[in-house]
Amino acid sequence: MQANTGLPKQLCELTVLFVDDSLTMRRIIRNSLEKIGIHKFLEAEHGAMALELLQKHKVDIILTDWNMPVMNGEDFVKTVRRNPVFKDIPFLMITTRGMREDVLLAVSLGINGYVAKPFTSNTLKEKIIKLTLSKKTAEPKLKSETLNPN
């Protein structure tokens, strides 16, 4: 375990791409990642910008909002999941859209986890641990865990 964070050391080495059109929300995510011990991250304002970053950098996990201009979260996820190079990167949707229908749509798109805003650093840490350490587990288990947004 990494000192002061409770995050396993290998997870502190993750490169996280987070995508949100709100500067304030990106700041909250950045501060939360740093608080839990993740210091390697990239940020984008929308899906199109995130796709450019994916082409240039190795990314271990993607955190994305749903509602964004230029390319929204749904189109971003669809585009990434169709690309054989990026299709297996774990996705965590961080959004205000917390209705059951929204969660089910996210799962059908290939989202691996779901966090409703507002969230705590601890919630983010738990979801990242589940996503990264359970990559070896069966997909149905991931999908059943996804239905709980927090």
Q: What is the pLDDT of residues 101-143, one digit of tens each?
A: 777 887 888 888 888 888 888 888 888 888 887 654 334 333 4
pLDDT (tens digit per residue) in 34-71: 998 889 999 999 999 999 999 999 999 999 888 889 99
Map out the domains of the chain with their CATH numbers. Answer: 9-139 (3.40.50.2300)
Residue 28's closest CA among 99, 98, 124, 93?
Answer: 124
Q: Which phi and psi angles does 64 have, rounded to 5°?
A: -135, 150
And the tokens for 131?
């996503």
pLDDT of residue 6: 61
pLDDT of residue 148: 45
Top pLDDT among 21 and 107 is at 21
Top pLDDT among 84 and 100 is at 84
Those residues whose C-beta lies under 8 Å from the C-beta of residue 82, and which sit 6 or more positions away, are none
> Taking residues 10-29, what's their average pLDDT?
89
Q: What angle do CA 47, 110, 142 make, to 5 degrees?
A: 130
